[in-house]
Structure 1
């Protein structure tokens, strides 16, 4: 009996110890702890990762591996989860952990063979290839490598992970990752347990095969270069909740005409910019669970398709950039709307329906830009109290901006630009404004104080209005401002000195106002200026030397002021400066430079008092002009930032006329030194600037001959050497300039025959006026022998008395190629004797991370 009691006691003790041991967490195995620590040491933390992660996820980075310490159990480390029974590491979540560095195939991470879930998303693995060893995690059910700078081919070994439920391999670089037809088919065929498949921006470049998992709840393949016809089977996946195929313009989508099997489950459908064919069928009305729909840029036309009116649960609706028409009052039936985007369509009528629409209590974004909406905005609106973003730009709206807009408590983005609103800008109630653009209206009065005291304002665009008053120094309270555009208003006073101390501003445009005084801001070393435009004001004095601190500056326009200074050659030390305009000021003296201005593409020093020889050293170092980028493929633009909101225009004199370029191509290479006192010869070195499109050296006192090296300027479109003292012959080699559209050699001392052939057969007499030694006028007439007596050019408009005068013809003036208005021989004599025709040549008169978040929230597709 005692033995029996002893046995029961021992058994009871054993079972108790067993239960107790099972209740305690098992320690992480030593080899796995070492593997994790080794992984930690391979990838240092990126100090800028927080901004990077927040840009895409709106969550800040958290460096989980910093907490890993050998003195503690690895199962307690941030991001590490272990099996309670065995202690094996089965989950590793390192999303947004700030990791950076190369991810090699010998990475210690591959020693964690029992992993079931691995999340390495939103890190920076520096273009590493995705190792085939990922395919050895046979137990893996969850793999997320999204937006972590992987590149190259997705290995076929990923298709070995037959237990996968979730696969996310996405990128923001459309050329960073590719799958290829074979690997893509394997990923679809073998991974039969997949519920979520996301390959956003992976270059697939193939059709979608028919054989893929019937378990799918999420299929996301935007920006993947898919082509062919989308299999109808996709719409019959009974569990499908989210379908995202946007930005695949070669993918043809046809909706089933019969009831979809996914109609009861489908909640999000994103088909922006696909090749949609046919009409939206009646079967579409059965999508009773649909909460989000994006069919922007799909060539929808006519009235809103009737099946859409049955989608009463819709919360997010994008139908922008189509050809839809009619009124928009019907949208008031959607009582759950949070986002309504109908921009870039043909909707018309008035906005009166929003004055009585109390069903939009949830609406956060209303986008109606670029339609044909008319009339004033109703003033009696009270049902939009949750509105955060309002876009009504480019319509025909007028009247005053109603007070309810300024009273919106949560307003973040307001775009009413390009309408005809009048009156004053009222004080804003919201303290969360990020974007305010009211440009191109008829608004007046001062800038409201509430706008100048916003804590988070990123973009402020008030240009092309009648805004008046001084620029208050309070504008420098905008500590987060990226873009300040106040051009073409009636602003007066001086430029606040504190502007140069604003460390976030990238675009500063105060042009075409009435600003006076000197340019007194002191630009600090920390500044981020990319574009500075102060042209068309009344500024005086010198160019501030502190501009040398603007190391990111690409575009500087100080033209049409009263600046009185020598050439600021030190600007050439700015490493990224591409456009420099100092036109129509009072600059003087010779131009002496060192080896500077290597990136310059447009330089306009016209209508000043520069003198001396043309600066050979300056031309020698124009490295960007020595490249012909004509066949460089995709167009690139100078200083092209925030282009959705800001038009970085440039007025240039080319082809005899002033032109406004709304954006400046990097191939738009221009030299304009006209209207100065330059003398001496045209240097041969200009022939090395093979990217030149426009060369204007007119209205100087240049001598010598036209260098034959100019024949190498194969893309030259406009050449103006008029009103100088250039002699010699026009080389027959210049007929090789087949891109030349405008030629003005008038009023020089050229002799000999005018070349024939190609473009030279198209130039009229006014290209050569005032060169008594030239023969062959008009160009169609045979030049004859070289020993013929030179013929004077006699414009048909002149009377007999004027025929004996070498004055500029009225024909030349009207054509825009002459030297200017002729008052009389005495005026001509005075001008040339003083060597200063400048006065009459002047007749040549248009976040970081947070901004990405806001743009993504309001403009990008989910």
Structure 2
């Protein structure tokens, strides 16, 4: 058995001594009766001067002896867990389970976000109240987080950002009043329940890079009257895009890239007068060129690549089509014919001033191997500005325009 470092043993003794440990309380009785977990005061085995790696509930690294796990489930602990607790000096912790104890209405300390190696954190049914600190989102290696069955808890600053972890299971629904919810780059699965639309305060909803599937709820289109950013890219959604984008909405970015969407583009997108980024690439959408999107006055990025768009692009239907567009990607579709020269008359945002000749020129125009775009190769716009355009629109900086 490895030998526990002296400073960590001392920190655990301090942690133990900060609580009273009654023989039983309502929490321990609940463990025995409802969960079938034998409750007992594990910290009774924590004796100063002995190897902490041999104590109940303690796991140590096999070589270093560093304390990597604490499991004090149903251990009769009673008292406040404060931010100055010696617990937060155990920086090697990977697993921490304090469930079913009585922390007497303590708030969850922001210092829980200091455990850089934490993969599992369980504080369920432990009488915590108050704000869940934003610092919890700093736990970049977190696989499992359980804060359930505590007192009245609320999320800090109306923002939840748990992106780039290893979280899994069904989609958690954000609480009422929250404005930004990001769980991108995890491993959530299943469908989006329609009652997520009851959270009408949402302005940013980022569920990208997960394994979510099924149809996109129709009500998400209705939510666009408050929603500014909807990012569902790189999931497994299928079916048609909701035809429910309401007039007067404030949607600025819609990203469905990398799903299995099919059918035609919903004409209700013309109601998205604030839309700056529309990325529908890498789906199965089958439609003709959506010239009607040219009427969106703020559209700057349009990505339709790798779908089933077909037919000729045709001449613009108005004299002011796509006037603010900086980037368009139509590659890998089934368009045929030439790209009408009249479009270039209106694509003012795709021009650069030439300092040498003092005139405007179109930049980054690239054709396919044949004359026109008969191979579906149509990409034009300042490719080097992809990140700048996305950031200017207030969107994620890793948007790829290929």
TM-score range, shorter chain: 0.5 to 0.7
Tell me the SS of whatever aligns to 1:508. Answer: strand
Q: How does 1:574-653 map to 2 (within 5 A)?
A: 574-592=296-314, 593=316, 594=318, 595-628=320-353
Q: Does 1:568 align with 2:286?
A: no
CA-based RMSD: 4.0
Report the Cα distance in structure 1 between the residues aligned to 2:94 and 2:353, rounded to whole angstroms: 51
Work out which structure has the larger RCO, using CA pairs closer than 8 Å and 6 or more positions apart in sequence.
Answer: 2
Match of 1:486 in 2: 207
Cα distance change on mapping 1:493 and 1:627 into 2, 3 Å: same
Q: What residue in structure 2 maps to residue 555 of structure 1?
A: 277
Work out whether residues 578 and 601 of structure 1, in 8 Å CA contact, stay in contact via their aligned partners in 2.
yes
TM (normalized to structure 1)? 0.31
Correspondence for 1:809: none
Contact 1:532 1:556 in 2 (8 A): yes
Counterpart position of 1:379? 97
Residues 677-826 of structure 1: pairs in structure 2 closer than 5 A:
688-690=360-362, 692=363, 694-702=364-372
Aligned position for 1:464: 185
What is the number of residues matched between the two proteins? Answer: 296
In the alignment, the residues of structure 2 paired with residue 461 and residue 479 of structure 1 have an alpha-carbon distance, to the nearest angstrom, of: 16
Shift of 1:508: 0.5
Alignment CA distance shift 1:497-1:490 (3 Å): same
What secondary structure is seen at the aligned counterpart in 1 of 2:302?
strand
Q: CA deviation at 1:606?
A: 0.6
Whether the aligned pair in 1 keeps the contact of 2:303 and 2:401 (CA below 8 Å) is no
Residue 845 of structure 1 deviates from its aligned partner by: 11
Indicate yes or no: 2:244 matched with 1:519. no
Deviation at 1:618, TM superposition (A): 2.0
Q: Secondary structure of 1:501's partner?
A: helix
The whole-number CA distance in structure 1 between the counterparts of 2:331 and 2:126 is 45
Distance 1:515 1:373, change over 3 A: farther
**Distance in 1 between the 2:203 and 2:140 partners?**
24
| Cα distance in 1 between the residues matched to 2:269 and 2:83 | 48
- How far apart are 1:615 and its partner, in Å? 2.4
* TM superposition shift of 1:416: 2.2
Alpha-carbon contact 2:228-2:251 (below 8 Å) kept: yes
The 5 A counterparts of 1:300-699 are 361=82, 374-376=92-94, 378-380=96-98, 382=103, 385-387=106-108, 392=113, 396-404=116-124, 408-414=128-134, 415-416=136-137, 419-423=140-144, 427=148, 429=150, 430=152, 432-433=154-155, 434-448=158-172, 451-452=173-174, 454-502=175-223, 503-592=225-314, 593=316, 594=318, 595-628=320-353, 688-690=360-362, 692=363, 694-699=364-369
Q: Deviations over 1:196-236 (max 9, x none)?
A: xxxxxxxxxxxxxxxxxxxxxxxxxxxxxxxxxxxxxxxxx
- Judged with a 3 Å threshold, the aligned counterparts in structure 2 of structure 1 residues 545 and 407 are, in CA distance, closer, same or farther, namely farther
- 1:618 is paired with a residue of what secondary structure? helix
**Structure 1 residue 475: Cα displacement:** 0.8
CA contact (8 A) 1:425 1:443 kept: no
Give the match's secondary structure for 1:411.
strand
Provide TM-score, normalisation by structure 2.
0.63
2-side partners of 1:477 and 1:586: how far apart? 34
Contact 2:301/2:326 (CA < 8 Å) preserved in 1?
A: yes
Distance 1:606 1:391, change over 3 A: farther
Aligned residue for 1:828?
none
CA separation of 1:716 and 1:461: change in aligned 2, threshold 3 A? closer
Summarize the alignment of residues 186-265 of structure 1 with structure 2, pairs less than 5 Å apart.
none
Change (3 A) 1:361 1:573: same
For residues 295 and 311 of structure 2, what CA distance do their matches in structure 1 show? 20
How far apart in 1 are the matches of 2:179 and 2:238?
27
Output the CA distance in 2 between the equivalents of 1:497 and 1:576. 24
User: Structure 2: which 5+ residue stretches go unaligned?
Assistant: 1-10, 16-65, 374-380, 386-399
- Mark the CA change 1:457 to 1:545 in structure 2 (over 3 Å): closer, same or farther: same
Question: How far off its partner does 1:408 sit?
Answer: 3.9
Deviation at 1:374, TM superposition (A): 4.4
Structure 2 equivalent of residue 66 of structure 1: none
Bigger radius of gyration, 1 or 2?
1
Cα separation, 1, equivalents of 2:383 and 2:177: 47
Structure 2 CA distance for partners of 1:531 and 1:845, relative to 1, 3 Å: closer
CA, structure 1 residues 583+456, in 2 after alignment: closer, same or farther (shift >3 Å)? same
Give the CA deviation at 1:572. Answer: 1.4
Where does the alignment leave 5 or more consecutive residues of structure 1 unmatched?
A: 1-328, 334-348, 631-686, 704-712, 719-843, 847-862
Question: Whole-Å Cα distance in 2 between the matches of residues 373 and 545 of structure 1?
Answer: 54
